[in-house]
């Protein structure tokens, strides 16, 4: 049985190595300090507050030192963290409270009104509610102790959850994906093997803690490798460029919107970024012009792909292939098994589109208190992603679209992501979203929303460009120029908002 108390090991091996730094405050923890704070917190939660393995702690806060110390305490105790999207309304969060029934709610002071609303809405109310300041006080007491505070980690099973991560559900209710200690380990191994993470490495994390990317793309793999993570609450292009230089970051993960905004920042030209090995990019594919702009800067781009329930670090495109295999997510990482299947469940061949199915030790055992959703997602041990992919003759994977985004026009399957990638090759086009809309003749047709860089580009010119290069059924019937596209909390284009507005 492997140890799940990673930080205790690094506190022994490299006690003075920086573990965490808050870039908004310059507060920091070494591995010894992080372990000391987490040990004191673990003792407070289990011995004083009498919380037990499997109890849920819901957190309504941005990333900070104490939040990560709480995660380390969860590794030691078997308590389950439930990070909540603080941008949601109290009524939306209330469903999650009722669903996971936390024993403790911790809220950052800026979200106090929302926490109070939750207590009023929830029946029964959460048994205990703490402001984040109380968590900070407990951690500080641990650091003030004259002697190291021992804490004997609980005996945990590999499949005990460490997180419940809520994702949007097709029924209109969010689903709580179980993220286990086994998943933590194997996601870190996949990440470390692919990205060659070393203890001397430094990264900056500005992904929110309610998203798996805020924990499991780089933060937890870096803690597993004894490396250093800078925590940044808000993404600001100019400041982030300066901090990447100041902290001598080796790797940075962002979504495409971030990289485009950084590239367009006035600070882009003067930033050195000489310490960076590469950027990790998830979400939509980056336009070729953005990849080339960063390449001229000397920064290689590694396109990746993952999801909350599996990984999330599942595929990676090596930086040397960033231009040659534009649009690809690369090959599957080391311990990831893949299949592409058709609607009958049969595997498809090279260059054919099929639903991606995944298997491996980084796969969720299911959803919290939702056996129906679990059975649907894992009917035979393979996780059905709902993503449509194609694998080329060299074994490189390309995301065609989500099954739910695909529409059928005149009997032909149309994948909006394919049209979006093509329109992004038109000079001056910066963002595109394509959706299917009802049509009396064809059943459904495409409507494209296009953002340009202030250039004088006409809809007719864009449609003519499509007509000359795409099959007729793929050419959008409608095209609208817009100033911006709606985004969700992680910076991805919100197609539900576009569909609702049609």
Architecture of domain 6-216: 3-Layer(aba) Sandwich (3.40)
The reported pLDDT for the residue numbered 136 is 97
What are the boundaries of each domain within the chain?
Answer: 6-216, 236-402, 407-501
pLDDT in tens, 465-494: 998 788 788 999 999 999 999 988 777 788
CATH of region 407-501: 3.30.300.30
pLDDT in tens, 352-375: 999 999 999 999 999 999 999 999
User: Measured between alpha carbons, how far is 431 from 482 in angstroms, rounded to an integer?
Assistant: 10
Fold agreement (6-216, 407-501): no
List of the chain residues with pLDDT < 70: 1-2, 168-172, 283-285
Backbone φ and ψ for 418, nearest 5 degrees, come out as -65, -45
User: Measured between alpha carbons, how far is 355 from 377 in angstroms, rounded to an integer?
Assistant: 12
Q: In 3D, which of 67, 68, 26, 19 has the Cα closest to residue 243? A: 26
Q: Which long-range contacts (CB under 8 A, 24 or more apart) does 70-74 make?
A: 70/38, 70/41, 70/106, 70/135, 71/162, 71/215, 71/220, 72/6, 72/7, 72/34, 72/35, 72/38, 72/223, 73/38, 73/39, 73/41, 73/42, 73/45, 74/162
Residues 6+ away with beta carbon under 8 Å from 338: 332, 356, 357, 358, 397
Q: In 3D, which of 232, 165, 171, 161 has the Cα closest to residue 203? A: 232
Q: In 3D, which of 252, 246, 212 has the Cα closest to residue 229? A: 252
Architecture of domain 236-402: 3-Layer(aba) Sandwich (3.40)
Q: In 3D, which of 297, 301, 237 has the Cα closest to residue 273? A: 297
């Amino acid at each position: 049985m492997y140890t799940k108390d990673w930080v205790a090991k690094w506190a022994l091996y490299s006690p003075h190595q920086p573990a965490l730094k808050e870039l908004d405050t310059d507060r920091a923890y070494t591995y010894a300090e992080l372990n000391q704070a987490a040990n004191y917190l673990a003792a407070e939660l289990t011995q004083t507050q009498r919380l037990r393995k499997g109890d849920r702690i819901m957190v309504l806060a941005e990333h900070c030192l104490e939040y990560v110390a709480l995660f380390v305490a969860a590794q030691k105790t078997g308590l389950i963290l439930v990070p909540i999207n603080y941008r949601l309304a109290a009524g939306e969060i209330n469903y999650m409270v009722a669903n996971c029934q936390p024993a403790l709610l911790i809220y950052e002071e800026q979200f106090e009104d929302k926490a109070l609303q939750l207590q009023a809405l929830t029946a029964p109310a959460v048994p205990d509610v703490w402001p984040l300041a109380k968590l900070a006080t407990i951690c500080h007491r641990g650091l003030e102790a004259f002697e190291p505070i021992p804490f004997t980690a609980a005996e945990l099973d590999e499949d005990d959850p460490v997180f419940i991560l809520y994702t949007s559900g097709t029924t209109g209710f969010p689903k709580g994906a179980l993220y286990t200690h086994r998943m933590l380990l194997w996601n870190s191994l996949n990440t470390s093997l692919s990205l060659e993470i070393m203890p001397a490495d430094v990264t900056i994390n500005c992904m929110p803690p309610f998203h798996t990317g805020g924990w499991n793309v780089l933060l937890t793999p870096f803690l597993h490798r004894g490396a250093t993570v800078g925590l940044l609450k808000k993404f600001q292009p100019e400041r982030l460029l300066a901090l990447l230089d100041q902290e001598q970051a080796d790797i940075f993960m962002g979504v495409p919107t971030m990289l485009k905004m950084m590239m367009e920042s006035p600070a882009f030209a003067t930033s050195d970024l000489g310490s960076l090995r590469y950027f990790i990019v998830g979400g939509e594919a980056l336009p070729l012009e953005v990849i080339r702009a960063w390449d001229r800067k000397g920064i290689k781009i590694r396109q990746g792909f993952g999801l909350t329930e599996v990984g999330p670090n599942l595929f990676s495109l090596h930086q040397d292939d960033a231009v040659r295999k534009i649009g690809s997510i690369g090959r599957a990482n080391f311990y990831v098994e893949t299949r592409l299947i058709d609607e009958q469940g049969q595997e498809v061949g090279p260059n054919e589109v099929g639903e991606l199915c995944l298997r491996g030790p980084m796969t969720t055992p299911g959803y919290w208190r939702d056996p129906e959703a679990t059975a649907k997602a894992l009917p035979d041990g393979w996780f059905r992603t709902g993503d449509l992919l194609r694998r080329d003759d060299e074994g490189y994977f390309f995301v065609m679209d989500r099954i739910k985004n695909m529409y059928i026009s005149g009997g032909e399957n149309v994948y909006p992501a394919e049209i979006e990638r093509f329109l992004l090759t038109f000079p001056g086009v910066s963002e595109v979203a394509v959706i299917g809309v009802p049509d009396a003749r064809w059943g459904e047709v495409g409507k494209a929303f296009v953002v340009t860089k202030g250039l004088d580009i006409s809809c007719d010119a864009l449609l003519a460009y499509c007509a000359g290069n795409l099959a007729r059924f793929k050419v959008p019937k409608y095209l609208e120029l817009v100033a911006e596209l709606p985004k969700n909390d992680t910076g991805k284009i919100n197609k539900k908002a576009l569909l609702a507005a049609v």
